[in-house]
A and B are shown apart, each in its own frame.
Chain A
Amino acid sequence: MSLLTVENLDVFYGDFQAVRGVSLAVEEGRTVAIIGANGAGKSTLLNAVVGLHGQKRGRVRFAGADVTFSRADAIARAGMTMVPEGRRLFGTLSVEDNLRVGAAAGRKGPWTLDEIYRLFPRIGELRHMAASSLSGGQQQMVAIGRALMTNPKILLCDEISLGLAPKVILDIYRCFEAIGASGVSIVVIEQNVAQACAAAQYAYCMLEGQVGLEGPTADLSMEAITAAYFGLNHA
């Protein structure tokens, strides 16, 4: 059985439906990509899955339990957390305090302060700085570290390469191999198709709130993805 399954999920903002009947599955220890253009409903989908967005219909199952309408904090304690879009660090707290907040989930596991600093040596050097004073790339590392500190079974990453320099993006994605190797399942949301497909074994392509294309990244042709990304087969 899959670690995370989403069945026929609809998500609403008032009268507006942002996600339409999306189903997906993530196996233990795998990396899955959800790609799509701006406004395709990817972030809304993730927010609904982790319990931050309440207006929804359908079913979300995580580790054998129905968590569709569970609170976000309960879901995090059960082992599913998210690196939010735009990092959203606690700006007045130091880097280390941000990471320690992650430990509040109270889950035992491989990820400790020392492990995070080993993964991202640079933020270890900056650990007493205010989080808001860091550069975008460093903040992204802290955000990932904070999420890892909950020792999740699955980590959802919302647009982590947005607004970062190519070199920094490469560094961050390199770390994902180490994270994946520790047994954590990963879902990445990306507008950057090549980046996402390189990191993931399986990909879903979203357009206007629906999944238009899915498959193992090895089997998906660039043409098919481009068509699904821009909705060319509708034309």
Chain B
Amino acid sequence: MIWVETIVNGLLLGGLYALVGLGLGFAFGVMRIVNVAQGDFIVAAAFLGVFLLPWTPVHPLLVIVPVAIAAFGIGMLLQWLLINRVLGQDQIPQILLTFGLAIVLRNGMVELFGANTRSIDVGELRFMGFDFLGLKLGVLPVLILAIALFLFAALHLWLRRSNMGRLIRATADDHRIVQLSGVNFRSIYAVAMGLAMALSAVAGILLAMRGSFTPYSGADRLLIAFEVVVIGGLGSFWGMFLGGMVLGVTQLVALKLDPASGLMYGHIVFILILIMSPNGLAGAFRR
């Protein structure tokens, strides 16, 4: 029973990991851009959450809203002011630019806030639990999975149904040709990056509520996001969800067997999946 509980908890954590990957995967799907600074932006969002917490009315969970809005704006600015200037056939300039940004951001946070471990305090919600079919589950992890599922579904529907969603999909298909319809793909890119950042920011807040973070957590966050996207099959929407689940379960099972292992077994499972199925899990099922 303890193992079932571990696996279920792994799935709950996996939903959050999937959300960590969603921003990166979405940006890649639309723009073929990999924002290497995404992990450090996730941490920055958590810091913003810590500082907005005292001013958050009703419930600490609601701090997500202002942080997500701020992240959207920052994402748009990032795209407009920096990344749009280095677009081109060659991906190296974009990647190196965001790499430089990651270094600035990480060390800036150390400088401003110190290297202490922090978390976002959600009050008694963190300790509340319930019994489900004999399993002891936390309310917060279940709530977080629900939020992750909701955001996946909402993004999916929004892309299918809305006007802007249609333009984003068209731009993802062919950003050059979409211009012939009067669409400035750079603006679409800015919206897409804003969304990617908002989604990442939500993931960052939730991670900081479930666990803890330091200014150096960005590297691990980026690696998780990256592994979720690759396991999911580069741009496959629900594949990413599966990727998150695989990582979440692996990590919790491994921690039970080898408490000092950290993310190592998650990384190893990622490498094994890469060896067995280069197109990720989604690719393996499609075949």
Q: Which residues of A contact B182 (CB under 8 A)?
A: 73-74, 76-77, 81, 104-107, 150
Determine if B174 and A104 form an interchain contact, defined as CB atoms under 8 angstroms apart: no
Determine if B166 and A92 form an interchain contact, defined as CB atoms under 8 angstroms apart: no
Nearest CB of B to A88, in Å: 5
- A101-B167, A104-B167 are known contacts. Are A93 and B180 too (CB-CB below 8 A)? no
* B contact patch SS: helix
User: Does A153 reach chain B (CB closer than 8 Å)?
Assistant: no
Nearest CB of A to B239, in Å: 16
Q: Which residues of B contact A73 (CB under 8 A)?
A: 179, 181-185
Determine if B179 and A72 form an interchain contact, defined as CB atoms under 8 angstroms apart: yes
With most chain A CB atoms within 10 A of its CB, the pick from B163, B179, B182 is B182
Partner of B177, one of A84, A100, A106: A84
Q: Which residues of B contact A50 (CB under 8 A)?
A: 180
Nearest CB of B to A54, in Å: 12
A111-155 at interface with B (beta carbon < 8 Å): 146-147, 149-150
Nearest CB of A to B254, in Å: 37
User: Does B125 reach chain A (CB closer than 8 Å)?
Assistant: no
How many of A's residues come within 8 Å of B, CB to CB? 31
- Write out, one digit per residue, whether chain B residues 172-193 have a CB within 8 A of any chain A CB (1) or not (0): 1110111111111100000000
User: Does A91 reach chain B (CB closer than 8 Å)?
Assistant: yes
Nearest CB of B to A131, in Å: 9
User: Does A176 reach chain B (CB closer than 8 Å)?
Assistant: no
- Write out, one digit per residue, whether chain B residues 137-178 have a CB within 8 A of any chain A CB (1) or not (0): 000000000000000000000000001001101101110111
User: Does A52 reach chain B (CB closer than 8 Å)?
Assistant: yes
Determine if A104 and B179 form an interchain contact, defined as CB atoms under 8 angstroms apart: no
- A90-B173, A91-B173, A92-B173 are known contacts. Are A84 and B180 too (CB-CB below 8 A)? yes
Determine if B169 and A92 form an interchain contact, defined as CB atoms under 8 angstroms apart: yes
Q: Which residues of B contact A82 (CB under 8 A)?
A: 180
Partner of B181, one of A51, A52, A74, A81: A81
**Residue of A with least CB distance to B169:** A93
When chains A and B are docked, how far (Å) is the Cα of A234 from the Cα of B180?
Answer: 37
A79-107 at interface with B (beta carbon < 8 Å): 81-82, 84, 88, 90-93, 97-98, 100-107
- A71-B184, A73-B184, A88-B174 are known contacts. Are A93 and B179 too (CB-CB below 8 A)? no
Q: Could you name 27 residue pairs across A and B whose Cβ atoms are closer than 8 Å?
A: A51-B179, A52-B176, A52-B179, A71-B179, A73-B179, A73-B182, A74-B184, A76-B179, A76-B181, A76-B182, A76-B183, A77-B182, A81-B181, A81-B182, A88-B174, A90-B174, A91-B173, A93-B170, A97-B169, A97-B170, A100-B163, A101-B181, A102-B181, A103-B181, A104-B182, A104-B183, A106-B182
Further pairs besides A52-B179, A81-B182, A104-B167: 12, Cβ < 8 Å? A72-B179, A76-B181, A90-B170, A90-B174, A97-B169, A100-B166, A101-B183, A104-B163, A104-B182, A107-B182, A150-B181, A150-B182
Which residues of B approach A to under 8 Å, CB–CB? 163, 166-167, 169-170, 172-174, 176-185
Which residues of A approach B to under 8 Å, CB–CB? 50-52, 71-74, 76-77, 81-82, 84, 88, 90-93, 97-98, 100-107, 146-147, 149-150
